[in-house]
Amino acid sequence: MGTLEVFQHDEARCIWPARAELGEGPFWMASEGALYWLDIKGRKVHRLTLDSGARESWETPLRVTALAPRKQGGFIAGTEQGLAFYEPRTGRLERLLNPEPERTHNRCNDGKVDPAGRFWVGTMDDHEESPTGALYRFDAAGHLARFDDGYTVSNGPAFSPDGRTLYVNDSPKRVTYAFDLSADGVPSRRREFLRFEAPHGFPDGMTVDAEGGLWIAFYAGGCVRRFSPDGAWLAEHRFPVAKTTSVAFGAPALDRLFVTTARDGLDAKALEAQPLAGGLFELSPGVRGVAPVPFAG
């Protein structure tokens, strides 16, 4: 068991007080020197150029819940109506498929690209009540496969640096699952990797560092925590807002950790106490991330 390090609020810096309703989905675009992130409920894609500090935002035609660059340009997106190819600057959205047309109250949620270039996305009950969500893999050939089911709000996913372990959260259950992941992208041996109590908040978006550490943002927990590959709780970085939602390593050296937050559901008193809720934060984690891979399709 490692020694737990706790870092206080002043270590996390708000670099964009965007007042996002539901900030989510940050990812680093090395080719642009920019960090992208989403406001799902506010229907926006945000882009921050690190060198200049320039900020750009685009409205989305649907709720975009996950976004990742494509090898051939543009982005693949998870939306409230399924998967799509999307270009924020022009607003062009090419619908691909709805993985669950029979589950009318479901929508896509978090999604990430694995080291082999496959896009993984989870679905969820849009009312956050029923375990109707599932986990999917979409490959460059356009094949979609469902691999796990019974999620109320799927979050993550994240992949170990060697690509052999897949992590997925079911946020309302306060559980992080781990799977073995084969070279051809088939998950197996699902097990409960972490389980949290109510005071911890809800495990939300996550990423891994180059040492295999798993970083999880805790919605209603006001923090980001780091865990070792064997599940030891190593560090906690506290924030001046309650709803920390997702994390991504960025900057040319991948040595900065960017954290999205939300303000949805906060009443007037809570918003007065948390004026930076919905902002984009950064911290210096002391470790480097893993270079993201574009979707191969």
51 a known binding residue? no
125 a known binding residue? no
Residues known to be catalytic: 204
Residues 6+ away with beta carbon under 8 Å from 192: 175, 176, 177
Residue at 205: amino acid letter: G
107 a known binding residue? yes
Burial of 295 (0-12, 13-18, 19+ CB in 10 A): buried
- Which residues carry a binding-site annotation? 24, 107, 109, 155, 204
- Which residues carry a binding-site annotation for a divalent metal cation? 24, 155, 204
- Which residues carry a binding-site annotation for substrate? 107, 109
